[in-house]
Amino acid sequence: MEQVVYVVDDDRGMLDSTVWLLESVGLKALPFTSGRAFLEVCDPQLNACVLLDVRMPGMGGLGVQEAMRARQIDLPVIFVSAHADVPIVVRAFKAGAHDFIEKPYNEQLLLDSVQQALGRLGERRSSLRRHGELQERLAGLTARERDVLEPLVQGYTNREIAERLSISVKTVDLYRARVMKRMQAERHADLVGIGIAAGLADPLNLR
């Protein structure tokens, strides 16, 4: 997927030079001279991050960040400012900013921060996608398969599970095989990992 950087800065000279820098390393840069113009067209589904100036006429960078949260636009934000006083920096990071870079910025520092932000976004989305797929597999289990899965990932033996559920060990073996297949687990250790990821077991309290 194409990597995009939204660049929001009311200083036209700074905006143009930042766009040129990003495009020189193969990134697609979309320039905006106001926060409102950016918010009107921002696509939260893109593989993107936002380079955001703090002080702009009308809506400043922190206001844009707040509006992004309100609209559930979960893209990494890198603030760029010539006025990096401590309260502003603290507020930006508390609101979830990825980075805060002072103007005039070091070009390599900016590029490194952008690449890191895009990389983390990809990792986070991949993790959410895996979690969604895991929940789908869990939802596809029957009630009895779920009854067998939970004690399995908690460390109970087949015999203990059979006694708990008042069924034969052979029946537990059958359900265990079906659960392993449905959850796409090759080994019991894989199943335990899946169970922990799904919140079915506490890794500190396994038997």
pLDDT tens column, 161-196:
999 999 999 999 998 898 888 888 888 888 888 887
- How confident is the prediction for the chain on average, in pLDDT? 88
If we measure between CA atoms, which residue out of 57, 53, 109 comes closest to residue 82?
Answer: 53
Using CA atoms, how far apart are residues 120 and 114, in angstroms rounded to an integer?
10
Q: Pick the residue with more confidence: 189 or 47?
A: 47
Q: Pick the residue with more confidence: 190 or 20?
A: 20
- pLDDT tops 90 at residue 75: yes
Q: Pick the residue with more confidence: 93 or 61?
A: 61
| Span 31-49, average pLDDT | 94
Measuring CA to CA, how many Å separate 143 from each of 79, 131, 140, 147, 192? 49, 21, 10, 6, 19
Complete domains list, the chain, with CATH: 3-128 (3.40.50.2300), 140-205 (1.10.10.10)
- Token pair for residue 84? 């990096």
In this structure, what DSSP letter does residue 203 have? G
Query: Does residue 76 sit in helix, strand or coil?
Result: coil
Beta carbons of 25 and 67 less than 8 angstroms apart: no
Q: Pick the residue with more confidence: 8 or 143?
A: 8
Which pTM value belongs to this model? 0.64
